[in-house]
Amino acid sequence: MSRIAYVNGRFLPHNSSAIHIEDRAMQFGDGVYEVIAVVGGKLIDVELHYDRLARSLRELNMEMQIPRVALHLTVQEVVRRNRIGEGICYLQITRGSAPRNHAFPSDPRHSVVVTARRSQPASGRVGRLGVYVITTADLRWQRRDIKSVSLLPNVLAKQNAAETGAFEAWLVDKNGAVTEGSHSNAWIVNRDGTVITHQEDVDILSGVTRRRILEIARTDGMEVVEREFTVGEAKDAQEAFLTSTSSFVVPVTRIDDTVIADGCPGSVTKRLRCLYLEAIKQPSFVSV
């Protein structure tokens, strides 16, 4: 079955869909995006994703030009036309095409692209067995809270990881603190059983999955602290894991050359993963 993409008002064959060469995403990385999981044909946590999209746009002086309802209908249609059972839906909104000039165009018409693809269920092997991550310098700009399509430092970090067979790269700031992964949020569980993840600020993307896991952990009575943690602390932790829309909750069993605890997914991580997989079946997580 050939894939269908939505581009600026039209549903097109994926292979021949395109945006203009002077689109500002192409020229300057001037745009934002969202990634939404599809499970059992249903979109997970769409409202939180649309809220974050609206916020990213606002932070870049790009008010939404497409009403949320229309955007949602488009997203649903792309998922339907591509017959996605388990997969991922991508939304990209750019400041549109204009003659090349760093300053904003006076009357921008945003480009809107929605695509979807099937993927292995995030509930699969990786999530059960755990992964290896490397640490690498966080080379990004100072507004990581904006989900910008300018992802070059993330791409370079992930390439470093891929070259060593790692699943993810954890990004480390000048003070030795782990901010997050190249495309996921980073967590540890210390020897007291406290669940720790970087506080929500401009240094990290406020992950939708991160937010849900915080809620789930607190509701389950776990001790949770949002604060920075160092690479040393992570390597000495009882457990480590990462969260994202595309992989849910994934145990981290090795960081660089250090095996975490006994090298097996930890019990807190497994519990959070299990509770999350249950939670996404609830109506409050799923779009209608």
- Provide the annotated active-site residues: 147
Q: State yes or no: residue 208 binds ligand PMP (CB under 6 A).
A: yes
Phi and psi dihedrals of 122, rounded to 5? -65, -10
Tokens 């480009």 sit on residue: 111
Alpha carbons 182 and 154: distance in angstroms, whole number: 5
Q: How far is the CB of 107 from ligand PMP (least distance, A)?
A: 30
Q: State yes or no: residue 5 binds ligand PMP (CB under 6 A).
A: no
44 and 280 Cβ atoms separated by less than 8 Å: yes
Q: How far is the CB of 262 from ligand PMP (least distance, A)?
A: 27
Please select the residue that binds ligand PMP; options are 180, 203, 228, 239, rule is CB under 6 A: 180
Residues 153-172 that bind ligand PMP (CB under 6 A): 154
Please select the residue that binds ligand PMP; options are 7, 12, 26, 35, rule is CB under 6 A: 35
Query: DSSP E strands: which ranges in 49-118?
Result: 87-94, 111-118
Residues 187-206 that bind ligand PMP (CB under 6 A): 205
Q: How many of the chain's residues bind ligand PMP (CB under 6 A)?
A: 14
Please select the residue that binds ligand PMP; options are 97, 123, 184, 269, rule is CB under 6 A: 184
Angle in degrees, CA 218, 125, 166, rounded to 5:
90
Q: State yes or no: residue 209 binds ligand PMP (CB under 6 A).
A: yes
Give the pair of three-digit tokens for residue 238: 């009882």
Q: How far is the CB of 35 from ligand PMP (least distance, A)?
A: 5
Please select the residue that binds ligand PMP; options are 24, 42, 183, 254, rule is CB under 6 A: 183
Please select the residue that binds ligand PMP; options are 31, 87, 127, 207, rule is CB under 6 A: 207
Lay out the site mask for ligand PMP across 69-108 (x = CB under 6 A, - = otherwise): ----------------------------------------
Count Cβ neighbours within 10 Å for each residue of 269-281 and write b for 16 or more, e otherwise: bbebbebbbebbe
Q: Which amino acid type is present at position 177?
A: A
Q: How far is the CB of 24 from ligand PMP (least distance, A)?
A: 20
Q: Which amino acid type is present at position 181?
A: G
Residues 228-247 that bind ligand PMP (CB under 6 A): 243-245
Q: How far is the CB of 192 from ligand PMP (least distance, A)?
A: 25
> What residue ranges bind ligand PMP (CB under 6 A)?
35, 154, 180, 183-185, 205, 207-210, 243-245
